[in-house]
Amino acid sequence: MRIVIITAVGCATPTTPGAPAWQPIETGVVGRWGHTAQYDAVRDAMFVFGGEHAGGQLSELLTYHPATGAWERLDTSDALFGRTDLASAIDTLNDRLILIGGRIGLATSVGDVVAYKDGQWQTLPRGPAPRHDVVAASDGAHAWVFGGAGEFLQSLDDLWQLDFATDTWTQLPEGGVRPSARAANALAYHDGALYLVGGHDLSAIKRDVWRYDLAAQQWTELAPTSAPPAWSHFGFAVDTQCDALVLVAGDNLDNIDTSLATTFDFATTTFARLETSTLPHPRDHPSLVVDSTRHQLVLFGGGTLGDGLGTLDDAWSLPLEVCP
């Protein structure tokens, strides 16, 4: 975690008249940054857990229902400590929400793995060493995590797989060329491979993109001809209908927030700006999901000063009318 107080400003790139518009969503819930969110197509609901605001870290589990616009607090047991900068995934095999790692307090990384189902929390076996500023990719039957910030704030460079059928962890081989250690990157699954975008270590932003072939167990660095406006602390989600990774908002190592959205096309390995006619407030550390039922983005929360300070409580939706 870095604390750098820098006033966030928006990017000067203009909006596109006639393009789809971001629409505000009523929330009525406490603002937060560094939380995690997942869209569950079976329930047509977005699950939100954790994060923090000026009052401290949050341990509540929320759901947002796009069909009705209603927000609901599911868990009031305080079974888990509040935490920030954690990873999550939807386990479609067992119908569970999975939470991985995170940070408690200012800099204490945790290594616990928990699952939520039918109103109950279950502790799963640990795998990777404790870490925060960590993200996960998933295909519904597995979750993968790469890197993050360790117990001494050091950046990590290991790759792990969680098998939802057995709740067992495996560290995957990474011989040859490989991404450098980092945290706060994007990690996505598509067609038998993992895609890693950006992130940062303790001193520098990472402006690279990598592909890990799960069958060959090998990393390859990609060479996209374009770039997103922000390389870390963005909200990200996979748009399976368009075979693309979507990045929204973010910063470059706690420096200058943006509100722009970018798509990364898995087939062409290129970035393209997602055209919109309006923009939400610039932010870092938000959550982003693709609501696959309506084919729209849902952006929630985040911060406006270095490392998420200046907490936001707003939410927005953006229709994905056509694939770029």
pLDDT (tens digit, 9 = 90+) per residue, 57-67? 999 999 999 99
pLDDT recorded at residue 68: 97
Report which of residues 225 and 86 the model is more confident about. 86
pLDDT tens digits, one per residue of 196-223:
999 999 999 999 999 999 999 999 999 9
What is the average per-residue pLDDT within 1-28? 67
At a CB cut-off of 8 Å and minimum separation 6, what does 271 contact?
224, 226, 227, 228, 262, 263, 264, 265
pLDDT recorded at residue 324: 67
Q: How many CA atoms lie within 13 A of 215 on its CB side?
A: 3
Q: Which CATH superfamily is domain 23-319 in?
A: Kelch-type beta propeller (2.120.10.80)
Find, among 231, 307, 288, 247, the residue nearest to 8 by Cα.
Answer: 307
Residue 224 contacts residue 244 (beta carbons within 8 Å)? no
Say how far apart CA 103 and CA 108 lie, in whole Å.
5
Distances (CA, A) of 313 to 26, 64, 227, 281, 300: 10, 13, 29, 11, 7
pLDDT recorded at residue 9: 40
pLDDT recorded at residue 3: 35
Find, among 93, 87, 85, 107, the residue nearest to 233 by Cα.
Answer: 85
Bridge partners for 61 per DSSP? 49, 75
pLDDT tens digits, one per residue of 65-82:
999 999 999 976 677 889
pLDDT of residue 7 exceeding 50, the answer is: no
pLDDT tens digits, one per residue of 108-161:
999 999 999 998 999 999 889 999 999 999 999 999 999 999 988 899 999 999
pLDDT of residue 2 exceeding 70, the answer is: no
Largest CA distance in the chain: 51
Average pLDDT over the chain reads 92
Report which of residues 30 and 5 the model is more confident about. 30
Say how far apart CA 180 and CA 157 lie, in whole Å.
6
Residue 93's pLDDT band (cuts 50, 70, 90): very high
pLDDT of residue 11 exceeding 50, the answer is: no
- What is the H or E stretch that residue 296 is in? strand 296-302
pTM: 0.94
To 5 degrees, how large is the angle CA 23–CA 283–CA 297? 35
pLDDT recorded at residue 76: 64
At a CB cut-off of 8 Å and minimum separation 6, what does 276 contact?
15, 16, 19, 20, 21, 22, 261, 318
What is the average per-residue pLDDT within 246-271? 94
Find, among 29, 89, 95, the residue nearest to 64 by Cα.
Answer: 29
